[in-house]
A and B are shown apart, each in its own frame.
Chain A
Amino acid sequence: MATVTPDASQQELELKIVEDATCTFCGCVCDDIELTVKGHEITKAKRACVLGTAWFLNHSVDDRPSCLIKGQPASVEDGIERAAQILTKARYPLMYGLSDTTTESQRVAVSIADWVGANVDTTTSVCHGPSGMAFQGVGEVTCSLGEVRNRGDMIIFWGANPAESHPRHFTRYSLMPKGMFVPNGRKDRTCVVLDVRKTKSANTADIFIQLKPRSDFEALWTLRALCAGVELEADQVLADTGVELAVWQDLMDRMKKSRFGVFFFGMGLTMTRGKHANTEALLALTRDMNQHTRFVCKPNRGHGNVTGADNVVAWRTGYPFGVNLARGYPRFNPGEYTASDVLARQEADAAIIIASDPMANFSEPARQHLKSIPYIAFDPKETPTTKDAEVAFTVATYGINVPGTVYRMDDVPISLRPAFDCHHPSDLEILQGIEKRVQELIALEAPQAEKDPSLRPSTRLTNGGKAE
Chain B
Amino acid sequence: MSKTYIIIPGRTSKQGVGINEGKFEETYQSEISVLQVSFEDMEELGLEAGDWVRVTSEYGQIEIQTKAAKKDELPAGLLFIAYGDYSSRLMGADTHGSGMPTSKGFDVTMEKITTPSE
- Where the two chains meet, the residues of A that have a C-beta atom closer than 8 Å to any C-beta of B are 25-26, 50-51, 54-55, 57-59, 121, 125-126, 129-130, 133, 161, 163-165, 167, 196-199, 210, 213-214, 267-268, 270-273, 275-276, 302, 321-322, 334-335, 338-341, 344, 357, 360-367, 381-384
Contact = CB atoms under 8 A, between A and B. Distances in A.
Contacts of B95: 334-335, 338, 340-341
Nearest to A334: B99
Contact of B73 (A55, A197, A273): A197
Contacts of A51: 13, 16-17, 20
A344 B23 contact: no
A25 B85 contact: no
B85 A271 contact: no
B50 interface: no
Contacts of B17: 50-51, 54
A126 B13 contact: no
Contacts of A161: 10-11
A278 B28 CA distance: 31
A363 B104 contact: no
A50 B100 CA distance: 29
Interface stretch (B41-49, B76-84, B109-117): B76-84
A167 to B, nearest CB: 7
A54 B21 contact: yes
Contacts of A126: 99-101, 103
B81 to A, nearest CB: 12
Nearest to A216: B105
Given A58-B21, A210-B75, A334-B98, 5 more contacts: A125-B100, A129-B98, A130-B98, A133-B98, A196-B8
Contact of B105 (A55, A130, A273, A367): A273
A360 B85 contact: yes
A344 B97 CA distance: 13
Q: Please indicate which of the listed interface residues B17, B24, B74, B84 has the most CB atoms of chain A within 10 Å of its own CB.
A: B17
A281 to B, nearest CB: 15
A196 B106 CA distance: 13
Contact of A364 (B84, B89, B100): B89
A205 to B, nearest CB: 13
Contact of B91 (A129, A302, A363): A363
A213 B99 contact: no
B99 A268 contact: no
B88 A363 contact: yes
B23 A130 contact: no
Contacts of B75: 196, 210
A368 to B, nearest CB: 10
B30 interface: no
15 contacts: A26-B16, A50-B17, A125-B99, A125-B100, A196-B75, A210-B75, A268-B104, A271-B104, A272-B104, A272-B105, A335-B99, A340-B101, A363-B92, A364-B59, A364-B88
Interface of B: 6, 8, 10-13, 16-17, 20-24, 59-60, 72-75, 78, 80, 83-85, 88-89, 91-106
A25 B13 CA distance: 12
Given A197-B8, A197-B73, A340-B93, A267 B104 contact: yes
Contacts of A210: 75
B97 to A, nearest CB: 4
A339 B92 CA distance: 14
A271 B93 contact: no
Contacts of B99: 121, 125-126, 129-130, 321-322, 334-335, 338-341
A381 B91 CA distance: 26
B16 A363 contact: no
Given A276-B98, A335-B95, A335-B99, A167 B13 contact: yes
B60 to A, nearest CB: 6
A107 B59 CA distance: 37
A202 B69 CA distance: 15
B6 A214 contact: yes
A197 B80 contact: yes
A364 B103 CA distance: 12
B98 A273 contact: no
Contacts of A59: 20
A270 B100 contact: yes
A210 B91 CA distance: 24
B47 to A, nearest CB: 19
Contacts of B59: 363-364
Contact of B100 (A54, A163, A271, A367): A271
Contact of B72 (A198, A272, A322, A364): A198
Given A271-B104, A344-B93, A364-B88, A25 B12 contact: no
Nearest to A126: B100
Given A25-B16, A126-B100, A161-B10, A384 B85 contact: yes
A15 B98 CA distance: 49
Nearest to A361: B88
A299 B12 CA distance: 18
B87 to A, nearest CB: 9
A196 B96 contact: no
Contact of B78 (A57, A213, A334, A384): A213
